[in-house]
Amino acid sequence: MKRREEAWVLVCDFVQDVGLRRHMLAVAATMRWYAARLGHDPDNWEVVGLIHDFDWEIHPDLDQHPMEGAGILRGRGWDEETIRTILSHYTAGTGVEREKPIDFALLACDEVTGLVIATTLVRPSKNIADVELSSLRKKWKDRRFAAGVDREHVEQVTADFSQACFDGRLDLWQHIGNVLEAMQGAAELLELDGRLARSDQHILELRDAG
């Protein structure tokens, strides 16, 4: 728990954007879900997911992220194995290859959470409990929706994860279904439990009353 608390302090120190925090929490929840099912340490995998993009707000380009962030982590006493995994989620810039299950899981869980979040936020309820896999399939086909989610990249890193950890038996839509399930289990933490819709309604009511 102490390490989780340290991770959250790191996030709060460097990330003010609500959307980026939600993304990091989503990846953390998904990493924890997979660790439990693959027989690894859920606490460790969750922490890695939580801090993997901690420096994006101060280094918002791939010439600096996550390379510059690694120096900050070392300065704060984070272990080299955690730093290595974070560096491995951008091999093209860092030269650090994915080697271990946690490395493959991190990249596979990273970008796809954006599709789930975006699909949730366009629903009137803004409640992830109302999102079904069929809805994600429809949004996936519309390349204009959540255009920042690189579909080909997601397919490739999911295939890599499948080969590394599931003997090739995990397909794309099983993976996305798992991501959805993990995020639904963390709905309150992600603030995707309908509260945003209630907040919007309250603002409208105040506007009408004025």
Give the whole-angstrom CA distance, residue 23 versus residue 111: 9
β-pair partners for 193: 127
Res. 199 pLDDT band, cuts 50 70 90: low
Please list, in sequence order, all residues whose beta carbon lies within 8 angstroms of the beta carbon of residue 205, skipping any fewer than 6 positions away.
none
- The CA-atom distances, in angstroms, between 4 and each of 19, 40, 42, 104, 123 are 20, 16, 11, 21, 31
Least confident of 24-33, 89-98, 155-164, 191-200: 191-200
C-alpha to C-alpha distance for 2 and 102, rounded to whole angstroms: 20
What is the reported pTM? 0.93
Residue 187 has pLDDT above 80, yes or no: yes
pLDDT of residue 113: 98
Residue 16 pLDDT level (bands cut at 50, 70, 90): very high
pLDDT at 191: 97
